[in-house]
Structure 1
Amino acid sequence: MSKRGNSIFRKTLLLFCTAALIFPAGMSFAGYKPFPQHTTYVSGSIKPNHVSQSTMDDAVKRKWNTWKSSFLKPAGTGKYYVKYNSAGETVSEAHGYGMLFSVLMAGYDNGAQAYFDGLYQYYKAHPSDNNPYLMAWKQNSSFQNIDGANSATDGDMDIAYALLLADRQWGSNESINYLQAAKDIINAIMSNDVNSSQWTLRLGDWATSGTYDTATRPSDFMLNHLKGFQKATGDTRWTNVVDKTFTIINSIHSSYSPNTGLLPDFVVMSGSNYEPAASDFLEGDKDGKYYYNSSRTPWRITTDYLLTGDNRALSQINKMNSFIKNATSSNPANVRAGYDLNGSAIVTYNSGAFYAPFGVSAMTSSSNQSWLNSVWNYTVNATPEGYFEESIKLFSMIVMSGNWWAY
């Protein structure tokens, strides 16, 4: 070995030994992927370009600090939960959000792993009656399961994906084997939240009969989660779910929203085709419209494109971008909190759950640069809203700032 090579070897060994002293086995540390990550998204995509990267990072930090102080609460010794309404209740959707935020903000927030582990312990304490690796979807302020101890697919999926990210962030050699925990819930999702005759995502582990058995919810179309599930488990059946999900997106777009790209809150199977759910299918008279569930689809679906370049939904995304810019005269203040699939607004008010995700979908093309910059500004400076809106704003800001990363 040359003198130079010998020197490099000694320096590397010294750094390794120093790290071992600072971070002995079992001790928490900032993480292997600390915030900010500044992920390189697919070629041709854009980020806000009117503010610096550090300004965007700081805005995400402030939003996380506010979200954490408002919604992340202790739930007894060693546990945390996400307070999603004024009654102090929570749902598994909120729980998945909390776990994702905690692992993504590690490195900036020194308490991130403690929050994550406490959220994990709460999840483990509230299993679904149908599969103990899935989470009972709702608890009251006394942390008791209410409204049926069964699961909701979106909560299950976010919890599973957060555990995969935790393995990448902290490893799985401490008190919690994050990777094994992730595989357990991923396999449970395949067993109970997937209709394996259609390869569609069910609404939850309870939706196994009648119209519900073949229904699905576009806000659950977390395509990058699904790809991560396959990578972690080696289960190639996830490819079937991914392929079917893209098929449904494009079927609904071509048949029901060719001019807007909007997706309804719920989709049902009719014969061999898929169509928007009828009014009052599950939650209310807007079940077949672009409403609070599907407000998340511009963020959920576009994120996979940004990370992987899989363009099978790009036509739908770009049509949606064109529609919303035209409908609002490129002013985020004019976004409305609900639309018919033909583009007619169904309410007169705005909501962060609706305008912020359009910032993520705008990232697909430089033709949306001005619009993206406007959505960023409007989201960062908006008046605080409730748990759901603030969660969607934070997720959208993490992606827009380039700080979302994949398993």
Structure 2
Amino acid sequence: MRRRLFLQSGSSAAVALALQACGGGGGGDPKLAADLAPAAEPTPGPATQAVAAPAAETTAAPAPTKGYPFGSRLERYKFGIQPNHVSQEQMDHTIKSLYDRWKRENVVDVPTVPGGKAVKFGNSTSYLTVSEGMGMGMVLVVLMEGHDPQAREVFDGLLTTVRARPAYSIPDQRARPWLMDWRLVRDGSSTDAAGGGWNAMDGDQDIAMALLMADRQWGSDGKWNYLQEGINTIHAMKYWNMKEDGTTKGLPRSHVSRTSDYMIGHFRAYKKATGDALWDRAVDRSYELINLMQTRFAPGTGLMPDFIIHTDTASPIPSPGGYGDFVDTEGYYYANAQRNPWRYGTDYVCSGDERWKNVLNKLMAFIKQDTGGDPARVSAGYHLNGYAMSRAYSPKGMIGPLLCGAMVDPAHQEFLNRLWTWNTENFTTLYYDSELQLIPLIVASGNWWRP
């Protein structure tokens, strides 16, 4: 059973803990995994050379240009809106300041990995990092090249740790070396009692995306072949985390799918990098499942659950609990699904896919109605019928991703402006909430780009 301490930062109260899983988007049932041919465990330590993925599947397209310094906005968004009550220069200045605070508080050296760095797991005394944090950290650092003179050095340090700690329990040897053990103990080691050698799809997805972005930012002819490393991880997720119809699957049962793993923009980047049509199917299947959740189970709210079960049947349903994170809240819009507006909105401003605009318009209409347009009144979570779980504090990790949700339509302009102001004035450096504020703020400022 893989669990994480999900940290929610409150207002003046300290920190509320809730048990949630970081690895809901893992591979298959461990019992089913036993049916696969066993393979020798990988040798610990960072990979120093890229290993080619299967030649038949590697059809990488070259990046259009190299170098994308922060603030350059070389490719303006073609769709959606941005905050219009502050200037581009003001937004960039704010992002730089918040990033510096985030980096200072969260990026640390790894005692057991020479040259390795990690994004620390909050104030935990038991664990150093999780793959989810590593992936988001790599995305942040590659985006901030041009502001942070150490960006590439830090990125390489994070990647060194990622490759030094493979998901050693995965029996599929095509996938194992290229997916990360989802949680490490305080000295940066892998143990059966921490991550258990299994992967978390959300972490590996951001790692893969960051590697593709690193290839565009710096090229792949240095210490690391970023492009090939990214392709290796993409193929590994295909083998272990995906079904042929494009459905994501996860531990402990293969019919369980986590909605925050539907990283639509990432899927499009994977398709561009590999030429594999699976990732087109992943975009379509993700929409099919989200549209079903909204239409059948949340017609008045547009909310979506953390987990969907029975995805191998004609009638998927929100999880009643106990399937993904092993908690009762799996069927609510909560600790996982709160990330969805960030993922879907980020894709929309680049792709213009109207399906995701429609998904987010339903959700944002409800959120604005529920809060009266005041970000501080957003609940810590919601039942799919709109019942608020708690307003005891303002949940920064829930409020941050709404920035990207509001970007899809001019109807949300006033709310988007309020979200920008609230998040910048109430920014935290505490893990998870911090990244769920900072990355959406970067997107809202116009500084997101695709590999």
Same fold (TM over 0.5): yes
- Aligned residues of 1:249 and 1:313 also touching (Cα < 8 A): no
Shift of 1:385: 5.5
Indicate the residue corresponding to 2:160 in structure 1.
121
Q: CA-atom RMSD, angstroms?
A: 1.4
Shift of 1:259: 1.5
- Aligned residues of 1:250 and 1:313 also touching (Cα < 8 A): no
1:200 paired with 2:239, answer: no
- Aligned residues of 1:37 and 1:405 also touching (Cα < 8 A): no
Indicate the residue corresponding to 1:267 in structure 2.
308
1:323 paired with 2:360, answer: no
- Aligned residues of 2:128 and 2:186 also touching (Cα < 8 A): yes
1:243-274 Cα offsets, whole Å, 9 max, x none, are 11111111111111111111111111163122
Shift of 1:89: 2.0
Paired with 2:86 and 2:106, the residues of 1 have a C-alpha distance of: 28
1:78 paired with 2:115, answer: yes
1:258-293 Cα offsets, whole Å, 9 max, x none, are 111111111111631221101233321111100011
The number of equivalent residue pairs is 369
- Aligned residues of 1:42 and 1:305 also touching (Cα < 8 A): no
1:212-236 Cα offsets, whole Å, 9 max, x none, are 2021111111101011111101112
SS in 1 for 2:380: coil
SS in 2 for 1:89: strand
Indicate the residue corresponding to 2:282 in structure 1.
241
User: Could you tell me which of 382, 395, 420 is aligned with 1:351?
Assistant: 395
User: Could you tell me which of 244, 256, 259 is aligned with 1:218?
Assistant: 259
Shift of 1:111: 0.2
Paired with 1:303 and 1:171, the residues of 2 have a C-alpha distance of: 24
Paired with 2:94 and 2:302, the residues of 1 have a C-alpha distance of: 30
State which drifts further: 147-156 or 383-392.
383-392
* TM-score normalized by the length of structure 2: 0.80
1:280 paired with 2:322, answer: yes
Shift of 1:310: 1.1
SS in 2 for 1:273: coil
Indicate the residue corresponding to 1:137 in structure 2.
182
Paired with 2:406 and 2:72, the residues of 1 have a C-alpha distance of: 20
1:162 paired with 2:203, answer: no
User: Could you tell me which of 322, 327, 338 is aligned with 2:381?
Assistant: 338
Indicate the residue corresponding to 2:421 in structure 1.
377
**Structure 2: any 5+ residue segments left out of the alignment?**
1-65, 171-175
**Structure 1: any 5+ residue segments left out of the alignment?**
1-30
* TM-score normalized by the length of structure 1: 0.88
Shift of 1:40: 1.7
Shift of 1:383: 5.0
Shift of 1:368: 1.1
Amino acid at match of 2:94: A
Paired with 1:50 and 1:226, the residues of 2 have a C-alpha distance of: 33
- Aligned residues of 2:167 and 2:177 also touching (Cα < 8 A): yes
Amino acid at match of 1:280: G
Indicate the residue corresponding to 2:69 in structure 1.
34
1:48 paired with 2:83, answer: yes
Paired with 2:242 and 2:347, the residues of 1 have a C-alpha distance of: 20
Quick one: structure 1 residues 164 and 385, their matched pair in 2 at CA, closer, same or farther if it must change by over 3 Å?
A: closer
Among the aligned pairs, what percent are the same residue? 37
SS in 1 for 2:167: coil
1:366 paired with 2:410, answer: yes
- Aligned residues of 2:118 and 2:134 also touching (Cα < 8 A): yes
Paired with 2:375 and 2:283, the residues of 1 have a C-alpha distance of: 31
Indicate the residue corresponding to 2:201 in structure 1.
153
State which drifts further: 285-294 or 377-386.
377-386
- Aligned residues of 1:37 and 1:402 also touching (Cα < 8 A): no
Amino acid at match of 2:330: D
SS in 2 for 1:354: helix
Amino acid at match of 2:241: D
Indicate the residue corresponding to 2:104 in structure 1.
69
Indicate the residue corresponding to 1:230 in structure 2.
271
Q: Which has the higher contact order (CA 8 A, sep 6+)?
A: 2
Shift of 1:195: 2.1
Amino acid at match of 1:116: F
Amino acid at match of 1:85: G
Larger Rg: 1
User: Could you tell me which of 391, 397, 407 is aligned with 2:435?
Assistant: 391
Amino acid at match of 1:112: A
Indicate the residue corresponding to 1:172 in structure 2.
220
